[in-house]
Structure 1
Amino acid sequence: MPEEKLTFCRICEPLCGMIATVENGKLLGLRPDKQDPHSKGFHCTKGVAMEQIVNDPDRLTVPMRRVGGPGEFEPTTWEQALTDIAGRLGRLRAERGPSSLAIHEGNPPYFSYSAVFWAKGFQKALGTPWFYGINSEDGASRVAAYKILYGHCAHMAIPDIRRTEALLMLGANPWVSKGSFLHDPRIREHLTGITERGGRVFVVDPRRTQTAKTFEHVAINAGTDAWFLLSVLHVLIGEGLYDQAFVDRWTSGFDQWRTHVAAFSPEATQPRTGVAPETVREVARAIGRARAAVVYGRTGTCTTRFGTFTNVLQDFVNIITGNLQRPGGWVWAWSPVEIGPMSETMKLATYGSVRTRVDGLPDSFGFLPSSALATEILTPGEGQIRGMVMIGSNCVVTGPSGERLIKALGTLDTFVAIDLYMNETNKYADYLLPATTMYEREDIPLQFANRYVRPSIRVTEAVADAPGQCRQEWEILDDIAARMGLGGAYSYGIQRQLAKIGIRLRPRQLADLILRTGKGGDWFGLRRRGWSWRKLAERAPRGVVFHEYLPLAPLRKMIKTEGKKIPMTDPRILDELERLRSENAGPSVEEFPLRMIGLREMNSHNSWMHNSRRLMPDRRHQAFLINPVDAARAGLADGDDARITSRASSIQLVAAVSDEMIPGTIAVPHGWGHNGGWRRANAAGGATSNFLADEVEALSASTVLNGIPVRVTAVVARHDRLEREAPATAPA
């Protein structure tokens, strides 16, 4: 008999409540939970499509050992695989040192608290400094800006959109992405609430996105957000639309910045940005005159040539207008658990504490950049990566320079991957180890607890049985560490020593401890209204919302720089300003006249959900958007095949002619171009857009994925191809 179980989705950051229909341990379907106090019935097509990922016949369900070339595997046993893996890693560690080993963690496991904590514990047990991840293709520059301005990045500020009167949003499309670096499943409702109460929402983007169509679109040339923000600051300061008392109390170097922005009038920046001076002034005045205003940017601004500097400038607007830790402004959210201090203690939230061996690129939130992997594998010397454990990642497709990385992966002495599928990256591994999905494990969103618009917490048990021999990531890592004689995958030496004598801390015990000792915890019975894992599971299986609106701690608690001042003239910021001033247009406009940006699609989530028939029907294909003017210049009609060429590489795609794009910019969906063990994804065709990327922003090691100089040329027009392929008319 089918039964229904309460749970929640962990594909992306809204973390929506779901109801799973299960029979005999098999997940039959998913639907949104209308009674969930956090998401209130919201869901997206990806959320309900997850059932097809769980039950996908192409999933890895048994350990696999490579027996030939890339992608040639045969089943093996856990015992054989783990014993051999531990032996291989142990020999490398003994012969070449711990720094010969590296870990790489991708997007899906980051939404599992146990995978996150135990992956870091595995790193500590190995003793390697090398922990890589996907942050360099997402939010590394945002993390760097937090650290530079406020002295920490463990607790990230978010826009208080439910109380603001003016929102300036750059490089974000929450109508599709549902928001990022903030958790709000009702984000559409809350954004439209701004305009319903008389406020304004400005969406700065080279494309008229779904979000931009809903609000006030400010069209901008790709990769020029920093110039735009400098012109906004110019108006705010020049017209006195800033909070002098706040600036005097909380910042240093403001007077120097006053002189710097004098050169960036809206008229001076217009040739670069394409934004009319009157539009800049209107935006600046709306922000400066509002009772509460906030600037928010995401991936589109993080992954540009000046990603960190752009994030700093976004915060400068929030800071000088006094909208820092103010209702409706840029605020540090209340959290039911002490996730910030814990992240710092566990070295999960660091910036620049570790740098890559060859190019000296910094870590960001504990992740080293994917862009450095190929160089670190191929360059000889002490610390050269010879063995790697990859957890839920596909950086050949999702990172830059994938073609070079393919060559590097083939040279590794040992490569082990834990994943749901054989993909374009782990097909080069020696072993593929099958992982559970989110619905086959217990969970609690600890790592996201301090970024909720409405502070919440919940737990879930596994709602379905894992197919075949799938195991949780933490169990696999812990077992490998134990077989290596290291005790287990724990962050602290005392834990590893205790594990050697059979005293082992399990994820739920750690999570319960963190929950019970936080602001929302029961302190082991001392706080009657507080929560524990057991109490949540029994009394609030849908979770609890602690506050409808964010309580705000005193600002002094959130600034950890010397003297409790925000350093507006930190040397790193001034160096970026000088780099911007001397910036040329990059490769010649004649050779590469267009600029490419990424495009997030409603039915895609990075690269790992392309094997669902619901999300990837046979009729779906990858196409890039191009303005009619640019299409005409390239001799392209809608549906024609085109070649997109950058300094790094070239790809071939179908053109979709659209006036959503401003002239001079094209938009290419990311995460496509499959040739792994997923048949539907492979059949969908397409190309890997990140092959066109070859530049890294040095301050944060972010890959430049937006504003890439490209040219577009026609290959064979589709109507010509169809005409040639049509059968000849039979003679009468």
Structure 2
Amino acid sequence: SRLKAIQKRGGKIVVVDPRRTATARLADQHLFIKPAQDVLLLLALVHVIVAQGWVQAGRLEPFIDGLDQLEDVVDGFAPEQVAGVVGISAETIHQLAHDFAHAPSAVCYGRMGVSTQQFGGLCQWLINVLNIITGNFDEPGGAMFPLAAFNTTTAPRAGKFGRWHSRVRNLPEYFGELPCAVMAEEILTPGTGQIKAMVTIAGNPVLSTPNGRQLDNAFEQLDFMLAIDIYINETTRHANIILPPATGLEVEHYDIAFHQLAVRNTAKYSPALFEISAEQRYDYQIYRALAKRMATAERPYNANDPRNQLSLSQMLDFGLRSGPYRKNGVSVAQLQQSPHGIDLGPLQSALPDRLFTPDHRINLLPDPFLADLPRVKSTYLSPTSQPRTSATSQPLLLIGRRDLRSNNSWMHNSQRLVKGKNRCTVLINSADAHTHHIKNNQLVQVTSAVGSVTLPAQISDDIMQGVISIPHGWGHDRAGIQMTTAQAHAGVSLNDLTDHTHLDPLTGNAAFNGIPVTISPAG
């Protein structure tokens, strides 16, 4: 309905995606793009806007550093130079840049597809650059920031990146976390610092991280594994101990994360509908009990810390009462009186007040991004990067997808969600199906550098030529899991094909999209 409302107001929606998604079908224009090459399109759009003198940063310009250097940064990425690689004509790129720069308001938006690829870090940076230089950053109709009632962005926190690195591949940490792609090797590689024990919390990394079969094997080698989970799934089946927390309607709920990403400021609290039994524990009670038992002299457990005494609703209430809407009386009690939530109004411009950089300015051209740009040219625009073989002998590029009723692996254990047609299929363009002698619904074998799977083909021109797509979260064929419905609709795991060595070197993130594969009729 929001997309239709944009169009009703005279707005235009353009979707850029290797697959014609449900969103693309609603858009005014859909542009196919080769996987992992969004970075070239974004650079070309910035190039046109700068070259044509269309930069209008608006009220934020006095707080922006780097505008004058931007022309040199995007030199060599004109639409005519990238069009043949990305699969979008130079004329279309010029028109897209013109329309974006001259619209009364506009926003460039990208999430998982542009993040989980080999240039994901650059893509997210360039999306911000594009919004900033056209005056669409922190402005109504553009990219804006919510102000959540339970606000986790009040205290200035500088980004923490690369303070230490992984043991085996020397990949950088970010805010104390390492890329999931290093998990298996850190378990399997002997030496000082080798991971020998693991705690997983409500996740299923065997199905959700690259080269899942390798991680499956790695978990089997652990000396000890604890899982905090309600399911015995592909990951938790390796655990020595499983601690199942209270779940679902037994648990009160306030969404901390997604209120920070909302398109309107709201607050909603849902109380638990059922009491838990004396033997059950909430997640936070399990975490506290583990922290207390794992305390050491160097890391003692402080029983007097309020975080170790208050219930979740008490902590939530404290955050709400001390938050940005405290003068509005927002509290747990108020939310309990408003079971459908409360509306706190539209998003408001927040900068420069909420600029938490050390100098309270926007650095348009951070050094790590600039240092990564030569990799784009060497990968896509150098003479050696161009294919020297015929189109029919080129590998296909694999991307993932999510279905509305199977966003994550746990949803496959609900009969209501998995009933109907088989959704674990490989989407393939009709021209590619003809080239590879594949018929609709035929079982095919898809092979990558790390594995091979067999599943039915679904021929559709909703996927661009040269690309195939397999959905995320399936692969419930491992022995030892206790998810009966999911096992009856096992499917195959996309991440038995994704490669743990295929990364975005800038961020260390796994590159799930754009994996080279071959396809052929099965046996």
Assess if the C-alpha contact under 8 Å between 1:618 and 1:684 holds in 2.
no
* Per-residue deviation, 1:672: 0.6
Task: Give the 3-state SS of the residue equivalent to 1:340 in structure 2.
Answer: coil
Structure 1 residue 393 corresponds to structure 2 residue 193 = no
Matching residue of 1:558? 354
Match of 1:249 among 62, 66, 69: 62
Residues 455 and 350 of structure 1: CA distance in aligned 2, closer, same or farther (over 3 Å)? farther
Matching residue of 2:343? 545
Residues 196 and 618 of structure 1: CA distance in aligned 2, closer, same or farther (over 3 Å)? closer
* Per-residue deviation, 1:505: 2.8
Residues 365 and 199 of structure 1: CA distance in aligned 2, closer, same or farther (over 3 Å)? farther
Residues 503 and 420 of structure 1: CA distance in aligned 2, closer, same or farther (over 3 Å)? closer
Task: Give the 3-state SS of the residue equivalent to 1:514 in structure 2.
Answer: helix
- Count of aligned positions: 511
Matching residue of 2:42? 229
CA distance, structure 2, for counterparts of residue 536 and residue 692 of structure 1: 46
* Per-residue deviation, 1:673: 0.6
Residues 286 and 653 of structure 1: CA distance in aligned 2, closer, same or farther (over 3 Å)? same
* Per-residue deviation, 1:465: 4.4
* Per-residue deviation, 1:467: 7.8
* Per-residue deviation, 1:699: 2.0
Match of 1:206 among 11, 18, 39: 18
Residues 588 and 402 of structure 1: CA distance in aligned 2, closer, same or farther (over 3 Å)? farther
CA distance, structure 2, for counterparts of residue 435 and residue 586 of structure 1: 53
Matching residue of 1:270? 83
Assess if the C-alpha contact under 8 Å between 2:57 and 2:132 holds in 1.
no
* Per-residue deviation, 1:246: 5.7
Matching residue of 1:569? 365
Residues 332 and 365 of structure 1: CA distance in aligned 2, closer, same or farther (over 3 Å)? farther
Matching residue of 2:483? 678
CA distance, structure 2, for counterparts of residue 520 and residue 589 of structure 1: 62
* Per-residue deviation, 1:336: 2.0
Assess if the C-alpha contact under 8 Å between 1:592 and 1:646 holds in 2.
no
Matching residue of 2:223? 413
Matching residue of 2:304? 498
Task: Give the 3-state SS of the residue equivalent to 1:608 in structure 2.
Answer: helix
Match of 1:324 among 137, 150, 155: 137
CA distance, structure 2, for counterparts of residue 618 and residue 457 of structure 1: 36
Structure 1 residue 708 corresponds to structure 2 residue 504 = no
Matching residue of 1:722? none
For residues 74-108 of structure 1, the C-alpha deviation after alignment (integer angstroms, 9 at most, x for no partner) is xxxxxxxxxxxxxxxxxxxxxxxxxxxxxxxxxxx
Worse-matched range after superposition: 674-683 or 659-668: 674-683
Task: Give the 3-state SS of the residue equivalent to 1:642 in structure 2.
Answer: strand
CA distance, structure 2, for counterparts of residue 302 and residue 449 of structure 1: 21
Matching residue of 1:512? 317
Structure 2: give runs of 5+ residues left out of the alignment: none
Residues 245 and 296 of structure 1: CA distance in aligned 2, closer, same or farther (over 3 Å)? closer
CA distance, structure 2, for counterparts of residue 623 and residue 511 of structure 1: 43
CA distance, structure 1, for counterparts of residue 423 and residue 127 of structure 2: 36
1:603-642 correspondence to structure 2 within 5 Å = 603-617=405-419, 619-642=421-444
CA distance, structure 2, for counterparts of residue 467 and residue 274 of structure 1: 59
Residues 343 and 390 of structure 1: CA distance in aligned 2, closer, same or farther (over 3 Å)? farther
Alignment identity in percent?
34
CA distance, structure 1, for counterparts of residue 277 and residue 472 of structure 2: 30
Matching residue of 2:377? 581
Letter in 2 for 1:209: T
* Per-residue deviation, 1:495: 7.0
Assess if the C-alpha contact under 8 Å between 2:144 and 2:348 holds in 1.
no
CA distance, structure 2, for counterparts of residue 651 and residue 592 of structure 1: 19
Assess if the C-alpha contact under 8 Å between 1:387 and 1:413 holds in 2.
yes
Worse-matched range after superposition: 322-331 or 376-385: 376-385
Matching residue of 1:261? 74
Assess if the C-alpha contact under 8 Å between 2:35 and 2:397 holds in 1.
yes
Match of 1:336 among 149, 162, 165: 149
Structure 1 residue 530 corresponds to structure 2 residue 335 = no
Task: Give the 3-state SS of the residue equivalent to 2:153 in structure 1.
Answer: helix
Assess if the C-alpha contact under 8 Å between 2:295 and 2:301 holds in 1.
no
Task: Give the 3-state SS of the residue equivalent to 1:410 in structure 2.
Answer: helix
Matching residue of 1:444? 254
Structure 1 residue 308 corresponds to structure 2 residue 121 = yes
Task: Give the 3-state SS of the residue equivalent to 2:228 in structure 1.
Answer: strand
* Per-residue deviation, 1:366: 5.0
Matching residue of 1:190? 2
CA distance, structure 2, for counterparts of residue 552 and residue 235 of structure 1: 27
For residues 461-495 of structure 1, the C-alpha deviation after alignment (integer angstroms, 9 at most, x for no partner) is 111345895432221222222234569xxxx9797
Matching residue of 1:376? 186
Letter in 1 for 2:2: H
Task: Give the 3-state SS of the residue equivalent to 2:270 in structure 1.
Answer: coil
Letter in 1 for 2:65: S
Structure 1: give runs of 5+ residues left out of the alignment: 1-188, 522-526, 717-732
Matching residue of 1:138? none
Worse-matched range after superposition: 334-343 or 636-645: 334-343
CA distance, structure 2, for counterparts of residue 475 and residue 565 of structure 1: 41
TM-score (norm 2): 0.91
Matching residue of 1:284? 97
For residues 593-636 of structure 1, the C-alpha deviation after alignment (integer angstroms, 9 at most, x for no partner) is 21111111111022111011111126535101100000011100
Structure 1 residue 477 corresponds to structure 2 residue 287 = yes
Assess if the C-alpha contact under 8 Å between 1:434 and 1:469 holds in 2.
no
